Structure 1
Amino acid sequence: MPTPYGYCGGMAFSADELRVLRRALAAALQPTTVPVQECLRLSEELDEAARESGRLRDFLFADLARYRDALPGSVHGYLGRLQEALAAGHVPGPDDLGALRVLRSVNAGPAERDRRTALLRRCEQAAERSARARLRALPGGRLADEPERPPAPKPAPQPAPKPPQPGPAGPQPSRRGRPVPTPGEVFPPRRRPSPPPAARTA
């Protein structure tokens, strides 16, 4: 079954995308100015080609899953769909990797076994690249083979503030500069009353 994709520089393009790209290249190489309406129409066709490409990829990935579910009877169809899906940007998951490991020696001669082994290696590398990209996208993520960053130096401890020293004891001067009176000056001693005259006569 022929694939609906064309290949250019390792990228897959549908027939509509190739047609739009040819028109865009032709418009870019024209020495005269391209009309505005032509640019708008070309932009709309590019958007539609991108949507169609997404629909084709979704169909291809769903078709791959159907062939994978029908294994091992659909081994040849599955391997073909897997190669097309890889060219369209499919990232192999555990299901694909597990199926390829089982299929390496199922109804396969030496040449076919080598071809399936090479396809398995290709899928493992694609899955590993995808995992590395996800690690790079995480905050603070680093690859397993990258050197570990040294921890940031801790700031030196600051000395504790000294407690305030008490001032010299003693009477505090008044606000106006006069000395503070003593208790004896504020409260003079009371004199004992003298006995009445009658008591002195007796």
Structure 2
Amino acid sequence: MAFGADELRVLRRALAHALHPTPLDDEDVQDCHRLAGSVDEAVREAGRLRAFLLADLARYRDALPGSAPGYLELLQDALATGYDPRPEDLAALRTLRHKTVGAALLERCRTLAEQSVRARLAGQRTAPPAPRLRLLALPGGRTATAGAGDTPKPKPAPTPPAPPPAERPVPKPSEVFPPRRRPAAPPPEKRAAS
């Protein structure tokens, strides 16, 4: 996940406030809310992309052996995102072990599958990270500056989060991964000259 320059400034101010609590003005609080919303949306989008990748991987696996190059590439991408290979992946890779990439991926997936089984047997099953809590209020703020005799102003109730946007349709594999085209051969007169 990459942050833009404005988002980094907001993050820097929020971290500075966490280390050295100072009063925050309303604009800083709103900036923090917007940044938290952007991070939440990025997490949701990453989840949608992962679901698409895994569905695409299953489609390519079901179309083997004709889809071997695409399947091997998608499997590498999925493993890079923490995908735990399934028994059907191991079975598919056994049929592709005559390819160099297929043999290497088979060894890698066997190792990952063994580690996963050992973790489950040891009771250390790797669970997905807990969902991040929404940032609804920051400690301190304007009420922290109220004097001893002052009555603190009540904090306004946080606005409820906006409903998630409507789900976008899942794109077709051909829309996301266009077919690879080989470079055109040079014209015959250039080949004859060389």
TM-score where L is the length of structure 1: 0.51
CA contact (8 A) 2:54 2:78 kept: yes
| Counterpart check, 1:56 vs 2:49 | yes
Question: Is 1:88 aligned to 2:81, yes or no?
Answer: yes
Q: CA deviation at 1:24?
A: 4.9
**Are 2:21 and 1:37 equivalent residues in the alignment?**
no
Q: Partners of 1:26 and 1:117 in 2: how far apart?
A: 47
Root-mean-square deviation (CA, aligned residues, Å) is 2.6
CA contact (8 A) 2:72 2:101 kept: no
Aligned to 2:83, the other structure's residue is in SS state: coil
2:10 maps to 27
* 1:101 maps to 2:85: no
**1:115 offset after TM fit, Å?**
2.7
> Does residue 1:119 correspond to 2:105, yes or no?
yes
Q: 1:76 is matched with which residue: 32, 47, 69?
A: 69
Question: Structure 2 length as normaliser, TM-score?
Answer: 0.53
Aligned residue number for residue 128 of structure 1:
114
CA distance in 2, matches of 1:67, 1:23: 40
Q: Identical aligned pairs, as a percentage? A: 53
Deviations for 1:16-57, whole angstroms, at most 9, x for unmatched residues? Answer: x3247x655443445797801111111111111111111100
- CA distance in 2 between partners of 1:53 and 1:28 (Å): 20
SS of the counterpart of 1:18? Answer: coil
Conserved? CA contact 2:10–2:28, under 8 Å: no
Shift of 1:118: 1.4
5+ residue gaps, structure 2, are 18-23, 125-194
Hey, what's the Cα distance between the residues in 2 that align with 1:83 and 1:26?
35
Deviations along 1:133-187, whole A, 9 cap, x unmatched? 212227xxxxxxxxxxxxxxxxxxxxxxxxxxxxxxxxxxxxxxxxxxxxxxxxx
Secondary structure of 2:122's partner? helix
Q: CA deviation at 1:129?
A: 1.7
